[in-house]
Structures are given as structure tokens and as C-alpha cells.
A and B are shown apart, each in its own frame.
Chain A
Amino acid sequence: MIDLDWYPLWNSLRIAAISCVLVFFFGIFFAYYAARLPRVLKGILDVILTLPMVLPPTVCGYFLLLVFGVKRPVGMFLLQYGIKFVMTWYGGILAASVVAFPLMYRTARGAFESFDKTLAYSGQTLGLSNTYIFWRIRMPACRQGILAGTVLAFARALGEYGATSMLIGYTPGRTATISTTVYQLWRTNDEKGAMFWVLINLAISTVVLLTVNMLEARQKKAVKA
């Protein structure tokens, strides 16, 4: 039915890219500050922030609909400003970010917790600002973990199906992503079409992973040198 319509590729990539950026900043923000909270609060916040990773994507999708549906309070409020997360392409960003966030958050937290604090202290004794210490000392030191988290988040965002399908449905040319398109084409017996998109997705994923491996290898070389 839909012949060689490239929209799903462009849509999936932009949703994954924007989600990845959002999740990158939110993930490190929460990972950094959550460590400073008192124990009980830290525990509770940790559970809430990790929940989307443990819940099935359809459960996440259901919750998102419950909050942002057009008939719900938050949804109606946003609609006044012309913002509708249901049945729009940017709703896909919301769905992908929610499910990808825990991956970035956990990995970043792990990286930050194994950060050698004496480096930060040395920076402080040299009179460097906290911002400088964070971005120029902590982040580069935790580079591996942060990079791993970012890649995981991007991959998760690109491959998001359940929550995306429930929140934004399948509108060709408007909200179709690679994952919803493959399902739709399979369901309507378009084997060739489905296979086409499966291969495209494989290609993207392979390229991303190869790039990441290359970057890691180069870093290791730089460290050794």
C-alpha cells in the first residue's frame, strides 16, 4: 500500500536523535544530583526513575496516555497551547525518552559513582568552579560509561515500539516510525516492504555500533600512548 515512502526512516532517526539528546542531559542531571540526596529519598527517586526500564513498554504507553491523552487534565491543558502528544510525531519523542531515560540514568550513575573523587578535590584546591569540574574533569573521566549510556539510549529510542504505537498510532507520513511500519506491513502481508525496513534498521544499528567501537578503540589507543 505504501510504496517506498522514506518518511519512517527520517521520522525514526529524528525521534531517536532528539530523544537521545534530551535523555543525555536529563540522565546526567539526575545521576549527578540523585547521588547527593539523603538515603530514603534517593531510594524512592531511584525506583521511580528506573521504572520505565522495568515496565513493559505497553504499560509505559498506557500511563503516558493516561497523563497526556486529549481528554485528560494535562492533555487538555497542553492542547490549549497547541501541544498534543497523542497522534503526533513529537509524541514519539516523549515515548522514546521515557523508555530510554533509565538506561542513561543508571549507566551515568554507575560511571559517576566509580569516579575518583580525589580528581574533583584537586580541582577544587586549584580554585576551579563546580561547573568546570563537572564538564572538564568528571565527564571526561567517566567518558566510557557516559558513551555506553548514550548509545544504549539511542538504540532504545530507535527501537521503541510499544509505547510509541499506543501514544502516536500509525499515520503514514505523519507518525510512522520504522518499528510501527514493519508491524503494519507485516500485518497487511507486505512481506517485501517489511523486510526492506528490517534491513534498513539493521544497517543503521550496525553503523552506530561500529562507530562506537571505533571511538572506543581510538580512546584506548590514546590512553596507552
Chain B
Amino acid sequence: MKKPIALLLVLMMIVALAAPSASAADETELIVFAAASMTETMNQIKELYEAAHPGVVLVYNFDSSGTLKTQIQEGADCDVFISAAPKQMNQLDASCDAEKNPDGLDFVEQGSRINLLENKVVLAVPEGNPKGIESFDQLAELLKAGDVFLAMGNSDVPVGQYTQKILAFYGLNEEDLAKAGCITYGTNVKEVTTQVSEASVDCGIVYATDAYSAGLDSVDAATAEMCGQVIYPAAVLNVSKNPEEAQAFLDYLTGEEATAVFESVGFSPVEKETASQKEVSLSQSGS
């Protein structure tokens, strides 16, 4: 009775250990950390890119940019990083001053950083708009009265940070609202989107692209005055094991095919900048 069981356990262990090494070693694996809001578009681009470049396999990690930045900082393998706000990229960029890069981290390959996309922050509501919310102005009134349940990203999530700016724009105190139980926090933009889709909340603040991809009604878009421009920077990391392939992929993302995919869900491409323009925008961006 004991021998067969021991044999079975040993076999299970062998299978478990042998399985991973069965994958091919000839292909180049490009690991891309991208903001959660890029899930649908990046998956489409993966198909296009891998078809055009056999021998390259794209491996994605989608999550809130804050989570990704922490993972990179902690030593995760990554070739390309696309953040949903300049803040997280600045925190990894050695060319940024101590205010934007307080820990003095150096992960960005200098010269590879570009502003890839622009997005919009919108107010999304569940199907049928049960609470009848029509605008950010109205939302502000409802929040003041404590009469609405809003889902937003937490302070580590770019869309959460943009939401904080919008709340500040309307003179609302986030802490008071939280204590009144008006706000629920999601750990990334997809969690917030899901909560709105499931009608677990009255409304949520997400990106236009997420609302579009999830088929949600967005009733209002935030202006640049309310939360600033929503810029997605992208860069090759200096810890990349395949810097040439990584740069090639980054170049592809600014090309026509990729841009068409991004535009189909609501992203806008940012013009490719010259070095001097980059310096100007770097000094203006980041929070």
C-alpha cells in the first residue's frame, strides 16, 4: 500500500518539474508591462506583431501602473514599460529630478522614452443609469450631499490619481467622502470598470477606452482643466535582456498599424517628438 503511493507522488513531482522546460528556447521573449487600460488594444497588437515578426513572443503583464512600477523596482524581468501616467515613469527615470523621482531609481533606457498615447478620463455609469447621473458637475453635487456611491482607483492607480485631481477641482475632500462611505476603491482601472458593469456602484471614473471596451455609457469626459492631460509614456528599460527587439517593438507601437488599433478604442496618438520637445514635455508632465 505504501510503495504505490510513494511512486505516485514521485511521478507527480517529476511531471511538475519537467513541464516548464518543455517550452521552446529559440524564440525571443519580450516582456511588456502595460497599464491595465491597454489590455484590449495590446492583445490585438500582439497578434499583429507576432505574425509580422515570427521568433518574437510577447508576454504581457497588465495591472495598475503603480503596481507595475513597484514590480519593476523590486527586480521583475521587463523589457518595455507603458504607464498610464507620467508619474510612474518619472519615478523610474534617472533623468528626472528628485521631486519626480524621490527614490533616485534608474530603470529607463535613456533616449527610448516617448509619450505614446493620450486618453480621456470619463464618468461611466451602469446600464440604464439607475442613479440618473449626467455630468461631473452633478456628481460633485451628489457627493457633497453624500447621496451617491462612486468607484474610483486608489491613490496608487493613475486613474485614481486623476480622479483625486477632479475631486480637488470641485473642492471636495476625499477623506471626508471616504468616511461618509461614498467612495469604494479599486486596485486597478479594470476592477473599477467591472464594478460599474456589474452595477455594484452608482458610477465609476475610468478611461474612455475602458468604458468603450466594456460597453459602458460614459456620460461626461473630464477636461484638461479638471485633471490635466492623460498621457501614456512608454520606454525600454535598461534591465531589458533584449534591448534591440524591445526598441523595435516600441517603434512599432508608434507606427500606422498599431495607431489604428489604439484609435479604434478611443486612444489618441501623441505626435512623435524631437529631443527638445521631449525636454519641454518632461518638465511639464508628472505630478
Q: Could you tell me which A residues sit within 8 Å of B by CB distance?
A: 1-2, 5, 65, 69-71, 86-87, 169-175, 183-184, 187-189
**Total chain B interface residues with beta-carbon distance under 8 A:** 24
**Are B199 and A71 neighbours in the complex by a CB distance under 8 Å?**
yes
Q: Give chain B nearest CB distance to A4 CB in angstroms.
A: 12
A174 to B151, CA, bound (A): 13
Cβ of B30 within 8 Å of any chain A Cβ, yes or no, is no
Cβ of B156 within 8 Å of any chain A Cβ, yes or no, is yes
- 23 A-B contacts (beta carbon < 8 Å): A1-B178, A2-B175, A65-B198, A69-B198, A69-B199, A69-B200, A71-B127, A71-B198, A71-B199, A87-B195, A87-B201, A169-B184, A170-B154, A171-B185, A172-B178, A173-B180, A173-B181, A184-B185, A187-B66, A187-B154, A187-B187, A188-B155, A188-B156
A188 to B151, CA, bound (A): 16
Give chain B interface residues in 144-193, CB to chain A under 8 Å: 149, 151, 154-156, 174-175, 178-181, 183-187
Q: Which residues of A contact B67 (CB under 8 A)?
A: 187
**Are A170 and B185 neighbours in the complex by a CB distance under 8 Å?**
yes
Interface centre among B149, B180, B198 (most CB of A within 10 A): B198
Q: Give chain A nearest CB distance to B50 CB in angstroms.
A: 29
Q: Give chain B nearest CB distance to A33 CB in angstroms.
A: 32
**Are A86 and B178 neighbours in the complex by a CB distance under 8 Å?**
no
Q: Give chain A nearest CB distance to B252 CB in angstroms.
A: 32
A149 to B184, CA, bound (A): 34
Chain A at the B interface: SS class: loop
A86 to B185, CA, bound (A): 14
**Are A169 and B186 neighbours in the complex by a CB distance under 8 Å?**
yes
A175 to B201, CA, bound (A): 13
Q: Which 7 A-B pairs give the minimum distances between C-beta atoms?
A: A174-B181, A171-B184, A172-B178, A70-B199, A86-B200, A188-B155, A169-B184
Instruction: Report if A70-B200 is in contact (Cβ < 8 Å); known contacts: A172-B178, A172-B179.
Output: yes
Q: Which residues of A contact B198 (CB under 8 A)?
A: 65, 69-71, 86
Extra contacts besides A70-B199, A70-B200, A174-B184 (19): CB < 8 Å: A1-B155, A2-B175, A69-B199, A69-B200, A87-B149, A170-B185, A171-B181, A171-B183, A171-B184, A172-B179, A172-B185, A173-B179, A173-B181, A184-B154, A184-B185, A187-B154, A187-B156, A187-B187, A188-B155
A189 to B195, CA, bound (A): 24
Residue of B nearest to A190 (CB): B155
**Are A175 and B184 neighbours in the complex by a CB distance under 8 Å?**
yes
**Are B184 and A87 neighbours in the complex by a CB distance under 8 Å?**
yes
Q: Give chain A nearest CB distance to B74 CB in angstroms.
A: 13
Residue of B nearest to A165 (CB): B187
Q: Give chain B nearest CB distance to A22 CB in angstroms.
A: 23
Q: Which residues of B contact A189 (CB under 8 A)?
A: 156
Q: Which residues of B contact A187 (CB under 8 A)?
A: 66-67, 154, 156, 187
Residue of A nearest to B178 (CB): A172
Residue of A nearest to B179 (CB): A173
A169 to B154, CA, bound (A): 12
Q: Which residues of B contact A173 (CB under 8 A)?
A: 178-181
Q: Which residues of B contact A184 (CB under 8 A)?
A: 154, 185, 187
Q: Which residues of A contact B149 (CB under 8 A)?
A: 87, 171
**Are A170 and B184 neighbours in the complex by a CB distance under 8 Å?**
yes
Q: Which residues of B contact A71 (CB under 8 A)?
A: 127, 198-199
A112 to B107, CA, bound (A): 60
A188 to B164, CA, bound (A): 14
A189 to B149, CA, bound (A): 25
A31 to B63, CA, bound (A): 43
Residue of B nearest to A87 (CB): B200
**Are B156 and A1 neighbours in the complex by a CB distance under 8 Å?**
no
A169 to B196, CA, bound (A): 12
Instruction: Report if A172-B181 is in contact (Cβ < 8 Å); known contacts: A1-B174, A71-B199, A187-B66.
Output: yes
Q: Which residues of A contact B178 (CB under 8 A)?
A: 1-2, 171-173
Q: Which residues of B contact A169 (CB under 8 A)?
A: 151, 184-186, 195, 200
